[in-house]
Amino acid sequence: MASITDPFKYDVFLNFRGEDTRHGFTSYLKKALDDKGVRTFMDDKELQKGEEITPSLLKAIEDSMMAIVVLSENYASSSFCLQELSKILDTMKDKVARSVFPIFYKVDPSDVRKLKRSFGEAMEKHKANSNLDKWKVSLYQVAALSGFHYKGYISIFLLFLFHLSTEIVT
């Protein structure tokens, strides 16, 4: 639990597409952060299509110092992920003592920014959603941030993870 001098309950909020990375990349990331003493929030519930983002999840975003957004092939097909991303950016982007760090998990950052390939296809499927324009802006904004482009090289990822966890702890 956060102390009086620490306004955040969590150091890191993990935002990710469960079907793409929950049982591999993201769970390894969480374990590595936990092992370094980083207070990490990872939603462990599989959400069904059409479910709304819960108030407790919104609160966890607000109670986190930073967010790590794991952008994967099917990320944008989830309206839930996009709702979370918009909340993360509204809460953290350009705020003092808050940060958003994208990880491009086997996707090209320019595909996210320009809504190409699976990201463009997903936006086409969401075209009837009233939040579509906000989600497009959110994807563009997160893709414009400095982050990590993971292409499948585990040794490079481990070096990155060590550096990231050291930065969060200090």
Residues known to be catalytic: 84
Between CA 97 and CA 95, with CA 87 as vertex, the angle to 5 degrees is 20
Q: Residue 126 pairs with which residues in a beta bridge?
A: none
d(CA 8, CA 2): 6
Check the CA dihedral 28-31-33-38 and report its sign. Answer: positive
Residue identified by tokens 């499948």 is 152
- Three-state secondary-structure class, residue 150: strand
The residue type of 103 is: I
Considering only CA atoms, which of 66, 82, 64 is closest in space to residue 17?
82
Closest CA to 125 of 89, 92, 76: 76
